[in-house]
Amino acid sequence: MRWLFLFGGGLFWLCGTNCLQAEDIRVLVSNVTGARAHDPAVGSGYVVLSAIHADLNVIWDADTQTFSGGFRTDSDVSGGGAGVQFGPEDALAYLPSTGQRQRSNDAAQYDFQGAVNDTFWLYPSSASASNTAFSLYLGFSAYGVPRDTNSPVFADNRIRWTVHSVENLTTPAATAFYGYSVSAGTVNMQLTLDPAYPNREMVLLGKGHSHLNLLFKAVGMYRITFRVRGTLVATGEEVSSLVPVYFGVETWQIPSGPAPATGYEAWKLASFSSTQAADPMVSGLDKDPDGDGANNLVEYALGGVPTNSSTSILPVVSTLTTNGTNWLRFAYRARTNDVALVIQPVFKVNLTETNWSTNGIVQKVSGQPAGDGVHEDQVWQTPVGAEARRFLKLNISR
């Protein structure tokens, strides 16, 4: 068996750190009577859309073996028709000042809300409470994920959500976020990065739907990235994808420039001298100042040092045979704290083929934290059949 490993940046585009462009972005608000008085006065490129209800809806793509998602409205107040699915960069949920609350329960289980009388902002988990607060009624759904009792795609027909990262793009230091329910007076925390609540997740059936209280401790434009996981029944492999969503808490506009200390810009400043960082011929995404064959985008994505020539970040290609099946494996370290970054293994059986494919490439080992807080070690594999060769490439785009 022979293979050719092609390593390169692939096609990429640069849109700054935030990547959400002000082009017909829907600012989702409540359609309850009286809510119009609390709508934001949006600028050019933003459209206020009032909705009965909106879900963060997840969709499974069997061809690429990935999850995607974004807000899905049931209907809008003017049309009253079928729901509309938006991509993660096409709509944001807006919470007006009427969403403010103060902690009133002094029980220890509510300490995450702050001290008694401290202010927080809340999307309530019930329609009546949302209507009272003139806030959008939000939920979580997996309408795009299959559920089949006789032939399930995922184990127990379930997927699992966790919080991967919380960014406040307007106030970077304020990132507290909690997704929880209250049953019989007991708080059930399910989605948060707070270390006081480790290993939290929300389980959802395919085609299913659920509600949580979503609490923020400060105003700002938030980008919350969820990791959605599922275990494939056919192979026993766990697959996962990152799904970013935007919430505006008394703030509706995405910052036009990069937030301080985030993304490629922060990495560039930390990796180069001030003179080098200011010179696009040295620190540009497509430049390779150390001449090791990996441009700055690749170094950024895979944990490299752009001023130190080394091939240590290159993916490791190996073979494995299990139960008579030959597998070609692809192992590398991937950056996980930039949702604008896409790292995708692809292959061809023959270089005369027009397109590279992701079909059959599955994540063998779920991402394991690399210890630095921003990367994880990933292993992907693809079966090699009767063909004598297979050509692999790692596409990296931003």
CA atoms of 330 and 362, how far apart (whole Å): 10
The least confident of 11-15, 67-71, 109-113, 166-170 is 11-15
Q: pLDDT-derived band of residue 297, with 50, 70 and 90 as boundaries?
A: very high
Q: Which residue has the tokens 């220890």?
A: 108
Higher pLDDT, 157 or 263: 157
The 8-class DSSP code of residue 264 comes to H
Q: Which residues pair with 134 in a beta bridge?
A: none
CA separation (Å) from 66 to 88, 150, 227? 15, 22, 11
* The pTM of the whole model exceeds 0.85: no
CA separation (Å) from 122 to 93, 256, 304, 354? 12, 26, 40, 50
Kindly report, residue by residue over 322-332, the tens digit of the pLDDT: 777 787 888 88
- Give the pLDDT confidence score for residue 246 in this predicted structure: 93
Burial 271-290 (b: 16+ CB within 10 A, else e): bbeeebbeeeebbebebbbb
- Given a cut of 80, whether residue 347 has pLDDT beyond it is no
Kindly report, residue by residue over 18-32, the tens digit of the pLDDT: 333 335 789 999 999
- Give the pLDDT confidence score for residue 186 in this predicted structure: 96
Kindly report, residue by residue over 121-173, the tens digit of the pLDDT: 999 999 999 999 999 999 999 999 999 999 999 999 999 999 988 989 888 88
User: Quick check: 381 and 319 in contact, CB under 8 A?
Assistant: no
Domain parsing of the chain, residue ranges: 1-17+261-398, 25-249
The closest alpha carbon to 77, from 45, 42, 35, belongs to 35
CA atoms of 50 and 55, how far apart (whole Å): 14
- Give the pLDDT confidence score for residue 273 in this predicted structure: 82
The DSSP bridge pattern shows strands 138-144 and 209-210 to be antiparallel
CA atoms of 376 and 302, how far apart (whole Å): 9
Q: pLDDT-derived band of residue 387, with 50, 70 and 90 as boundaries?
A: low
Q: Which residue has the tokens 């106030």?
A: 171
Q: What is the share, in percent, of the chain residues with pLDDT greater than 90? A: 44
User: Quick check: 270 and 36 in contact, CB under 8 A?
Assistant: no
The per-residue pLDDT of the chain, averaged, comes to 83
What is the distance between the terminal CA atoms of the chain, rounded to a whole angstrom?
33
- Give the pLDDT confidence score for residue 57 in this predicted structure: 95
Concatenating the DSSP letter of every residue in 138-185 gives EEEEEEES---SSS-SBGGGEEEEEEEEEEESSSTT---EEEEEEETT
Q: How many residues does the chain have?
A: 398
- Give the pLDDT confidence score for residue 75 in this predicted structure: 52
- Give the pLDDT confidence score for residue 358 in this predicted structure: 72
